[in-house]
Structure 1
């Protein structure tokens, strides 16, 4: 199969925020910019390529569909087990090569991150190079299986200093807190969301994309994944681990009143002896689940 769509030559600054976000997110993930061994660059420019298993065809077709100015087509290899998403040769990818590669090794172009503020940037990183990992423990006397979800971005090909800067950008832009986690390969670190409530909030934010890419539902839809786990353990009660130091009703009411009075998250955290990010996430949870009927009255 060779799906071909015409591609408009375009410069980085002419791309939309969505296009920039998807392109850089997937380039930091599974994508590469192909170069020949020759030092000279083809007159038509360089080319984007992304190899993948045909089992993930739906996801790549989605990329092709939503970004036809970037991606040109998909070709299946002779083995029919793998395929390639590709672009036409273009000066855009020559320019991106210069931004993302040093001595032919891919790096995170920190200076381009501020152009990638659409959530599809984080979605592409996650679907390309991330996973939803479940830690399971049992309480045999209570017939319970306890699940603790973790979100990983397997970006160990990058240096930890780069991952720190990427983590800061993600927290500031998308309000999801990743921390460095040790690995035994690459540059020995990847990114991870380790708190249960934060992992579930991450999945809830991106769950709508499960409808556009049904094959990724297991990775995006927490309720669906939870139901799958329950079917694996018939006769047992499958529950999700609770976060330690849950907020009391008194603390929740204080946060609501403090936000109405204009108090900053940092000041609330100091008053409650909580971390800044804990307060940020709890306020989002309060707005969604406690104040949902009055959402128009509490917009901050």
Structure 2
């Protein structure tokens, strides 16, 4: 099988999941076997439904699933095929996985972004309490934990996602890998991302809390039965230029009051934004946090 023989859906799913949890198995031998190489994807049996879905929607790509002797993990695998030998050459340099930028334009089906998100992404929540109003404010954050790739690759991937799917990710600092991952910055865009992919929750019930924003909100309401749980509504998010200005201003010793004046923002808005920047742009170590 060749890359050009695949449908847009198959290409999108395969490359999305290959950039996520998938890998192409390669022995230490210098020569590629005549039968070709094999796709493999290790996972916890708790995520069996999602991998069975991949197997069912792309039977020309995936062959089956093997459960390991421990019973706690399994592997989604393909037949050995020339397709994976070719993809190895496109995606691996010195046996390290890279983003094949030249193949992205072939992957215009939304399942590309869905696979990236379900494989290596997360829906994380920031929760704040307004005691006087008896409210819990919940803010969603969408992450793609792709720090194994270089930031230059992530920038090109982010540009492709924005042009193709109209979802806008920015680089976000981390302390591992190549130190950057991708994050949707604005609250309303995070909710729009979830709304776009929520229909897949019907096919993947086990992933519903990661795909269905209203369902996730209800989970939070169940945790706080005596309080009113509402979604945050960011009316005036900071732009990336404003965030970079704050970081540079802080490095130069500028006060919060002076920064607020320069940006035409309130003092407390800048104070709270600096706290967010320190957590999500400079460290980016905790997936879920509460303040």
Measured against the shorter chain, the TM-score band is 0.7 to 0.9
**What is the rounded CA distance, in whole Å, between the counterparts of 2:11 and 2:151 in structure 1?**
24
Q: Select 1:112's aligned residue among 90, 103, 108.
A: 103
Q: Select 1:35's aligned residue among 10, 26, 30.
A: 26
**What is the rounded CA distance, in whole Å, between the counterparts of 2:130 and 2:30 in structure 1?**
61
Give the gaps of 5 or more residues in structure 2. Answer: 238-291
Residue in 1 that maps onto 2:124: 133
The residue matched to 2:155 in structure 1 has which SS? helix
Give the gaps of 5 or more residues in structure 1. Answer: 1-9, 247-300
Q: Select 2:198's aligned residue among 207, 214, 224.
A: 207
Q: CA deviation at 1:245?
A: 3.2
Matched, 1:159 2:150: yes
Q: Select 1:90's aligned residue among 59, 67, 81.
A: 81
Counterparts of 1:130-279 in structure 2, within 5 Å, are: 130-245=121-236
**What is the rounded CA distance, in whole Å, between the counterparts of 1:245 and 1:88 in structure 2?**
51
Residue in 2 that maps onto 1:26: 17
TM-score by length of 1: 0.78
The residue matched to 1:115 in structure 2 has which SS? coil
**What is the rounded CA distance, in whole Å, between the counterparts of 2:235 and 2:171 in structure 1?**
21
Greater shift, 111-120 or 192-201, is seen at 192-201
Q: CA deviation at 1:234?
A: 1.1
Matched, 1:54 2:31: no
Q: Select 1:14's aligned residue among 1, 5, 12.
A: 5
Q: CA RMSD in A?
A: 0.8
Q: CA deviation at 1:90?
A: 0.3
The residue matched to 2:182 in structure 1 has which SS? strand
Q: Select 1:80's aligned residue among 61, 64, 71.
A: 71
Q: CA deviation at 1:167?
A: 0.2
Matched, 1:103 2:108: no
Q: CA deviation at 1:180?
A: 0.4
Q: Select 1:69's aligned residue among 45, 48, 60.
A: 60
**What is the rounded CA distance, in whole Å, between the counterparts of 1:230 and 1:35 in structure 2?**
48
Aligned residue-pair number: 237
Which structure 1 residue ranges, 4+ long, deviate > 2 Å from structure 2?
none
**What is the rounded CA distance, in whole Å, between the counterparts of 2:233 and 2:66 in structure 1?**
46
Q: CA deviation at 1:196?
A: 1.0
Greater relative contact order (CA < 8 Å, ≥ 6 in sequence): 2
